[in-house]
Structure 1
């Protein structure tokens, strides 16, 4: 029974320590937020600069069916 109580006390101590660390992290993150700044990100998409690589256009189903990437007989 003593072992169970000691283990329980250790669990409570760990939980308390983790809660304290989590609270410190939350405070630190809120301090980094500028006043009036939305923490969840901009409401408008960012404007890409000249060095940004454009996203590839999606491939249509017709193009996928028209050109197989391998010889179907070797599968």
Structure 2
């Protein structure tokens, strides 16, 4: 009987350790996905910023030269 109880206790300890490991792995995967989403959002936002700045520069330069041509002509 004692042998069965000992085996049961060992099995319970093993299951507890396994559940803790699974919980920790799930937590790590969740953290990795969150970090990846943050990086993707950051890249997208940077791309939008870069495009907006480029469009602004092109527009300002174009208008500056058009105004200069209008003033000179």
Name the TM tier (shorter chain): 0.3 to 0.5
Q: Which structure has the higher relative contact order (CA within 8 Å, separation 6+)?
A: 1
In the superposition, the TM-score normalised over structure 1's length comes to 0.45
The structure having more radius of gyration, on CA atoms, is 2
Q: Given the two structures, how large is their TM-score scaled by the length of structure 2?
A: 0.46
**Larger proportion of helix:** 2
